[in-house]
Amino acid sequence: MSGQWQEQVSLKPYNTFGIDVKARYFTQAHNDADVRDALAEAARQQVPVLVIGGGSNLLLTTDVQALVLRMASSGLRILADDGERVIVEAEAGEPWHPFVQWSLAQGLAGLENLSLIPGTVGAAPMQNIGAYGVEIKDVFVSLTALDRQTGELCEFDLEQCQFGYRDSLFKRHLGRWLILRVRFALSRVLQAHLDYGPVRQRLSEQGITAPTAQDVSNAICSIRREKLPDPAELGNAGSFFKNPVVPAALAERIRQQHPGLVAYPQADGQVKLAAGWLIEQAGWKGYREGDAGVHRLQALVLVNYGQASGKQLHQLAQKIQADILERFGVELEMEPNLY
Ligand code: EPU
């Protein structure tokens, strides 16, 4: 095995659920050459590779019999600036929230609603991260990825990424492309998105009527901190299920029995349901089984109170899925990748 690979490494510090499984081999990539070296060596040794970023969208249910390659590349730069529209580029290993803060410090707007999301820049396009009415597709320009089948560098523009709700080409072909760096179009002029949930109200409570991007970011951070547990304090992977998109007729049937149903009509005529609401109605909010639980403030978030295994969390998730299917006829799809 390569001299730079560690063996039998606990992955507890590398996944936000804090699941204590071991990687057979572990290494970190600080640049493109490290990535290529690690992949070449793994191919020579016929060792499979699991690429991770911040480990914030991952449920590890077993020891990883593979090389875990953690993206740790760094670099944030402005590529173009016409005085209003500014193109920035970030390396895959950059942690997301510090990148957002950096952009705000440059006087750039566009990422403020995506404040405080855990994870890395390279993982963000995988599931088209989104929050409070903005998804990265809204500010995305292009990315550079390594095609693991051909060894070639490829550029993907917005259309080629096939972004959908918590979805992309890369998520549908997990393991095929390794994202190296991402470019975003930001702006010196704020186009505020304040209509989602409590954002506008939070700002007005603070007496802010003409917010800056930094003000919006601060409001988003305070809203998130109230409901979403900090992975440094309580293991979790954010929303554990996607909000299900169902036919309008099914949403209507559910609403007849449950008038409080939280539902958002979609452009295609279907309806997105708030999975957290369904799970809370079913009585799971605050439920705990050993160290695996459903967060007491946000039913869409599963938490590890300390020693839960990935298998226990997965079993709890499956029970919730079965119950929601039985009660409402709705299938919940997991958001994190399962290993
Ligand atoms: N709700 C409940 N009970 C709960 C949780 C939510 O009734 O326990 C209701 C809320 O009252 C609200 C609705 O469900 O009416 C939506 O709740 P919230 O605004 O908290 O958002 P969410 O749908 O639960 C989604 C994203 C989050 C993102 C927020 C804000 C998904 C799967 N999750 O959550 O993203 O931060 O909206 O935009 O789309 C993530 O993906 O990891 C994530 C945290």
76-227: CATH class: alpha beta
Give the Å distance between the CA of 55 and the centre of ligand 1: 20
The pTM of this model reads 0.96
* Average pLDDT value for residue range 211-231: 97
Percent of the chain clearing pLDDT 90 (strictly above) = 99
Residue nearest atom 27 in ligand 1 by C-alpha distance:
131
* Average pLDDT value for residue range 26-30: 98
* Average pLDDT value for residue range 321-330: 98
Give the Å distance between the CA of 300 and the centre of ligand 1: 7
334 lines ligand 1 (CB under 6 A): no
pLDDT, one tens digit per residue, over 248-272 is 999 999 999 999 999 999 999 999 9
Q: Which long-range contacts (CB under 8 A, 24 or more apart) does 5-8 make?
A: 5/38, 5/41, 5/67
Give the whole-angstrom CA distance, residue 176 versus residue 178.
Answer: 7
Mutate to test the pocket of ligand 1, among 277, 279, 294 (most ligand atoms within 8 A of CB): 277
Give the Å distance between the CA of 276 and the centre of ligand 1: 6
The residue that leads in pLDDT, 3 or 287, is 287
6-71: CATH class: alpha beta
Question: Which residue type does 327 have?
Answer: R
- Domain regions of the chain by residue span: 6-71, 76-227, 235-338
Q: What is the mean pLDDT of the chain?
A: 97
132 lines ligand 1 (CB under 6 A): yes
Give the whole-angstrom CA distance, residue 90 versus residue 204.
Answer: 33
Nearest-atom number in ligand 1 for the CA of 113 is: 38
Residue nearest atom 11 in ligand 1 by C-alpha distance:
277
14 lines ligand 1 (CB under 6 A): no
Q: HEC profile for the chain?
A: CCCCCEEEEECHHHCCCCCCCEEEEEEEECCHHHHHHHHHHHHHHCCCEEEECCCCCEECCCCEEEEEEEECCCCEEEEEECCCEEEEEEECCCEHHHHHHHHHHCCCECCHHHCCCCCECCCCCCCCCEECCEEHHHCEEEEEEEECCCCCEEEEEHHHHCCECCECHHHHCCCCEEEEEEEEEEECCCCCCCCCCCHHHHHHHCCCCCCCHHHHHHHHHHHHHHHCCCCCCCEEEEECECCCEECHHHHHHHHHHCCCCCEEECCCCCEEECHHHHHHHCCCCCCEECCEEECCCCCCEEEECCCCCHHHHHHHHHHHHHHHHHHHCCCCCECCEEC
235-338: CATH class: alpha beta
Q: Give yes or no for a contact between 57 and 127, defined as CB atoms under 8 angstroms apart.
A: yes
Give the whole-angstrom CA distance, residue 12 versus residue 15.
Answer: 6
What pLDDT is attached to residue 4?
86
Nearest-atom number in ligand 1 for the CA of 133 is: 38
Q: Cα 2 vs. chain centroid, distance in angstroms?
A: 31
197 lines ligand 1 (CB under 6 A): yes
pLDDT, one tens digit per residue, over 70-82 is 999 999 999 999 9
What pLDDT is attached to residue 3?
57
Residue 34 scores a pLDDT above 90: yes
First-last CA distance in the chain: 23
Residue 1 scores a pLDDT above 80: no
Residue nearest atom 13 in ligand 1 by C-alpha distance:
274
277 lines ligand 1 (CB under 6 A): yes
- Exposed/middle/buried for 61, CB within 10 Å: 0-12, 13-18, 19+? middle
- Exposed/middle/buried for 69, CB within 10 Å: 0-12, 13-18, 19+? buried
Tokens standing for residue 219: 């409001």
- The residues that are catalytic are 166, 239, 335
Do 76-227 and 235-338 come out as alike in CATH topology?
A: no
* Average pLDDT value for residue range 118-132: 97
Residue 314 scores a pLDDT above 90: yes
pLDDT, one tens digit per residue, over 268-291 is 999 999 999 999 999 999 999 999
